[in-house]
Structure 1
Amino acid sequence: MSEKLQKVLARAGKGSRREMEAVISSGRVSVDGKVAFLGDRVDGTEQIRLDGHAVKIAQNEDEACRVLVYNKPEGEMCTRKDPEGRPTVFDRLPPIEGSRWIAVGRLDINTSGMLLFTNDGELANRLMHPSHEVEREYAVRVFGEINEAMLQTLRHGVKLEDGMAKFNKLTYKGGEGRNHWFHVVLTEGRNREVRRLWESQGVQVSRLIRVRYGDFSMERRLPLGGWIELGLGDVNYYRKLVELKPETKSKVKVDAKKIDNTQSRKIRKNVKKHQQRRQAAATTTRRQRK
């Protein structure tokens, strides 16, 4: 049975379906020696190349579906390479043989918190797609005068430039003066949607942190810039959530526990070392340009 080319490339770990659609449209993919077009389908017998390099059509049967949770700091870009040389969310991820990490959605440069990565393009695509209604929860600090009418409007829906949007849940968490904290829940990941919803009410977002994706919340002991790999049970939670068959293998010990203080300190130390290496490299680059 044939499948869409972008779906096959995503499953092979080359990126999300949306990314692969752009790659195909730019003429970077060939099938049996001919440039591929968006809409092409393959049945698994073809020779597929991306930028001239052969692509394994199916993931290796020995390769387990893996999922990382990364605590993104503000100031990092959700891209593999930034032309301005700014740090990216991929800089600190562990190497992965025969595949690559795919970000499950994006957080803008001024947003921090929970960001998922996986080596399974199909899982990434389904977790991002609004049809599966996977909840994303954010802690948001807003600056401005808030009243109940505004909150009801945000709960019932606001017309933005790309259509109607609303918070599925909106809970007040306290504050002082004109600074207030709320937790908000969405089931889609449109660009800057949380910020745009609040801005529609004349309120400025001064801090935005993703704290939950699905039922899995950010581990409190995970430092900014640190990552952990999920065990088999948590991986299969996400797979079941989007109607994929369960994984049977894991790179993580079955009895692995949540982060303790010792692990947290170790991760923090590794993050600091990475920052120091990056700063040293940036200093060297600046000197070479002079």
Structure 2
Amino acid sequence: MTSGHSVPGKASFAEAYEQPDPRGYFRALGPYEYVTPHHAQRVFRLLTAAREPRTVVDLCCSYGINAALLNHQLTLTELYHRYTDPALDDLSTPELSLRDRQFYAARRRPEAVPVIGIDVASGPVEYARRAGLLTAAFAENLERAAPSPALRATVADAGLVTVTGGVGYVSARSFDRLLACVDSPPWVAAFVLRAVPYGPIAEVLAEYGLVTERLARTFRQRRFTGIEERAGTLRAVLDAGLDPAGLESEGWFHAELYVSRPAPQVRARPLATLLRADT
């Protein structure tokens, strides 16, 4: 999707996101210890447990990794091991998707919820659907066009919108177009790099009656790929009026968690309480 706000010098993993199956993705990101889906797993499980309706819309879903971790007895480490295993190298994409469908079905949690995936990349989102991770899958670019009639109908009763790595590639425009499709404003949970402003998105969410809270801690995203990415990120963090000491200065991107809900629900259960304060 079109970038809403990019971090100067940030490495591109576009090729890894455009493969027909997840093997290239995990091999590309593994050396840099990309871990945001690990953090999101517990958060999204707690939010879905507290929310009705429980249907999730995962924006920028790529290969359905958030859905895999939300709905199955699996860890992110296990997914890295699976998709970098040389034993899978000779499988075609259809063969791998069939094995994955069986793999995930055997690990499905009783508490599993429907997940609708949206991503501009058609290959990954279709793979996630074939592997049984997504209830419905849409390859649409909400930065450039309004949702299709099929997408509008499918997300109408969504209870939670999630995004882990997409903010900065999608802007407030995508959130506006998505929430306009939902009958009753859903909760929105987003992990966002510290150098990327979330204010414009929070302002749009407020138009739908949602109050945005930020959890008072950060989460490691991944290691920097090199000197250029580190320098660009440190500049962006400082330009945002933030202190990188002990965070980005240690060689890692850091993300913050924003959760948006209707005001009465925020007053009744503040975010730290909702997430049991130990997230």
- TM-score by structure 2 length? 0.23
Q: Greater share of helix residues, 1 or 2? A: 2
Relative to its length, the structure with more strand (as a share) is: 1
